[in-house]
Structure 1
Amino acid sequence: MKKESIKAELVFYDFYGKGAHFRKEKELIHLGDGFAIGYEEGNGLALYKMAGSPDAWEIGDLDEVLFRIDDENEAIAGRSIEEIAQMSVVDFMVMAARRTVSH
């Protein structure tokens, strides 16, 4: 599976469906077929089924979040999206399951 960094727009539409009231460019790792992963502080790491089409991808109101790892999971701290995208499925699952235990 080819993984490449892409730009997508984070878009939130107004309540009346008359256009977008918020747009922000985001950098994601494209996994192919409209799937991407991205990280945002406060929201964590997410696997998206993006809306839109190639060269006009969107996340926000129209995407589908398939999986999310919250920021509280310290296993993702300090890892880049690129590093995570290159992991094997098993390595990713172990990383996602890892938690810091405090006594």
Structure 2
Amino acid sequence: MNNQIINRHWEVLTVDFVLYDPKTGAVDYREPTEVLHLGSDIALEVNEAYLTLYRMRGKEGEWEIGEKCKVLYDLPLEFPVGFNFGLTTEEIAKMSVLDFMLFLAQKKGGDAMSELTWIDAGEQPKKMAVDFVFIYSDTGEESREQVEVLNVGRDYVLYIDEEWLNLYRLYHGPHGLEIGQRAELIYDLPYVSDSEMDLETIANMNTIELLAHLGGQLKEVVGE
């Protein structure tokens, strides 16, 4: 398909963000904005509120994003207005999912996360079984279920539940290793997908691939 991103030749473009009057259809608002053009009509916009993967409207030299183009996926970030990530859009796009989650954790956590250390380069992610523990607030009783996680170095593990992609620091409890309420949640991302994917595959994705996967457009966007 001609809209597949095969050669990863990305470029920064300035396009128009456009809103239309619902009654007349005329342009109601237009503002230049920077996106990362990924090939064909696919682009990534990064701002303090969202990472948005778009199918742009228009043609070369006249691209627009906004109401009349297709949003392939919106990943909420919810940083303060005007927040500066300190990285280019391309640098964010090329991050692995794990590095991206750690980066966001450091940005949101401030001083509390400033000493967070990442994985040793020589360590290989591996699957392991741990207990997911939920503690009932009214009785203090525990619900304990064994789940599969991906150990990505030292005490860091990646875990997917029904709606979230979670990066935990394991809790060493009296009954063994745990995630859940007693473990430190480093960061979580909304994760709702109609297609199943192995934890190791997700960990090795870059940010663009994750957004395309969650939007159900992985083959179409990255050509795989």
Shorter-chain TM-score tier = 0.7 to 0.9
Return the offset for 1:40. Answer: 2.2
TM-score relative to the length of structure 1: 0.76
CA–CA distance in structure 1, aligned partners of residues 72 and 61 of structure 2: 21
Cα deviation 1:39-65 (Å, max 9, x = unaligned): 1222x1111100111101111111111
- Is the contact made by 2:54 and 2:73 (CA closer than 8 Å) also made in structure 1? yes
Q: SS of 2:45's equivalent?
A: strand
Q: SS of 1:84's equivalent?
A: helix
Aligned to 2:10: 3
The equivalences for 1:1-103 within 5 A come to 1-42=8-49, 44-72=50-78, 78=85, 79-87=87-95, 91=96, 93-94=97-98, 95=100, 97=165, 101=185
- Is the contact made by 1:10 and 1:26 (CA closer than 8 Å) also made in structure 2? yes
Relative to structure 1, is the Cα distance of residues 65 and 18 closer, same or farther in structure 2, using a 3 angstrom cutoff? closer
CA–CA distance in structure 1, aligned partners of residues 37 and 166 of structure 2: 25
Percent of aligned pairs with the same amino acid: 30
TM-score relative to the length of structure 2: 0.38
Q: SS of 2:46's equivalent?
A: strand
- Is the contact made by 2:48 and 2:78 (CA closer than 8 Å) also made in structure 1? no
Residue identity matched to 2:66: G
Aligned to 2:149: none
Return the offset for 1:72. Answer: 4.1
Q: SS of 2:60's equivalent?
A: coil
Relative to structure 1, is the Cα distance of residues 62 and 98 closer, same or farther in structure 2, using a 3 angstrom cutoff? same
Cα deviation 1:26-83 (Å, max 9, x = unaligned): 00000011000011222x111110011110111111111111221149xxx8343120
Residue identity matched to 1:80: T
CA–CA distance in structure 1, aligned partners of residues 167 and 31 of structure 2: 32
Structure 1 residues 77-86 or 57-66, which shifts more?
Answer: 77-86
CA–CA distance in structure 2, aligned partners of residues 46 and 98 of structure 1: 20
CA–CA distance in structure 2, aligned partners of residues 68 and 80 of structure 1: 18
Greater relative CO, 1 or 2 (CA 8 Å, sep 6+): 1
Larger Rg: 2
Q: SS of 2:62's equivalent?
A: coil
Relative to structure 1, is the Cα distance of residues 33 and 81 closer, same or farther in structure 2, using a 3 angstrom cutoff? same
- Is the contact made by 1:3 and 1:85 (CA closer than 8 Å) also made in structure 2? no
Unaligned runs of 5+ in 2: 1-7, 102-164, 169-184, 187-224
Residue identity matched to 1:71: L
Return the offset for 1:85. Answer: 2.8
